[in-house]
Copies of this chain bind each other. A is one copy, B any other.
């Protein structure tokens, strides 16, 4: 904890999943955190919002904001928001069907708007290009280009940097970091499919479970099915 920087504010884009839980905890060790959650018609919207609220309280957020981008769900074209498309149980080749067109540009734009109003210095995101390969809006090039956009598209005296500390980490490394810094992982929710017990079989559940397994740790959230149970538990 660096008390000298607690007056510096960071906006955290927080889905409520494991990655954003780790990022929020990491940022809150250095800065005051303003937590932002976006609802956009994703299947597990209510459960994510609950996770967001619980994580925000756990990390001592000084501000919380939930915004509605239901137009992203209405625009469609993603299995993450369209109940008529099935969520993949194995990684797709190419761009995953869970890709929501240009979603992160929408999320980061809103975060920067809020950050500029709050005079925050940073926007933190949990995007990751290793285990989320195939999402074009989760890459280092996207991050760097977005930072150029912030630099030229905000007031001349505004200084906001978009940072993605997990960008090049594997899920195993992310879980290890979360455990090391006591991130409230039990409050996070990653399942794309269910809201009561995580399904254990969607892409997101599998990655998360593998991350815990590789750390010889037990994921504290409830699962309906655990494909690795015979090996880990």
Contact = CB atoms under 8 A, between A and B. Distances in A.
Interface of A: 65, 67-72, 74-77, 94-95, 99-106, 109-110, 112-114, 116-117, 136-137, 139, 141-142, 145-146, 148-150, 152-156
Contact of A142 (B100, B146, B153): B153
A71 B37 CA distance: 12
Contacts of A154: 101-102, 136-137
Given A75-B117, A112-B101, A152 B148 contact: no
A31 to B, nearest CB: 20
Nearest to A76: B117
A109 B103 CA distance: 8
A46 to B, nearest CB: 19
Most buried by B among A103, A136, A139: A136
Q: Which 9 A-B pairs have the closest CB atoms?
A: A67-B71, A101-B116, A105-B109, A77-B117, A106-B109, A137-B153, A101-B113, A102-B113, A141-B152
A101 B210 CA distance: 41
A220 to B, nearest CB: 32
A139 B113 contact: no
A114 to B, nearest CB: 5
Main secondary structure of the interface of A (DSSP, over half): helix
Given A72-B113, A105-B153, A106-B106, 20 more contacts: A65-B71, A67-B74, A68-B70, A76-B117, A77-B117, A95-B155, A101-B155, A102-B109, A102-B112, A102-B116, A105-B109, A105-B113, A106-B113, A136-B152, A136-B155, A137-B153, A142-B153, A145-B149, A145-B153, A149-B149
Contacts of A136: 152-156
30 contacts: A67-B71, A68-B68, A69-B69, A71-B110, A71-B113, A72-B110, A75-B114, A77-B116, A77-B117, A94-B156, A95-B155, A101-B113, A101-B155, A102-B112, A102-B113, A104-B153, A105-B105, A105-B109, A105-B112, A105-B113, A106-B113, A109-B109, A136-B152, A136-B153, A136-B154, A137-B154, A139-B152, A142-B149, A142-B153, A145-B145
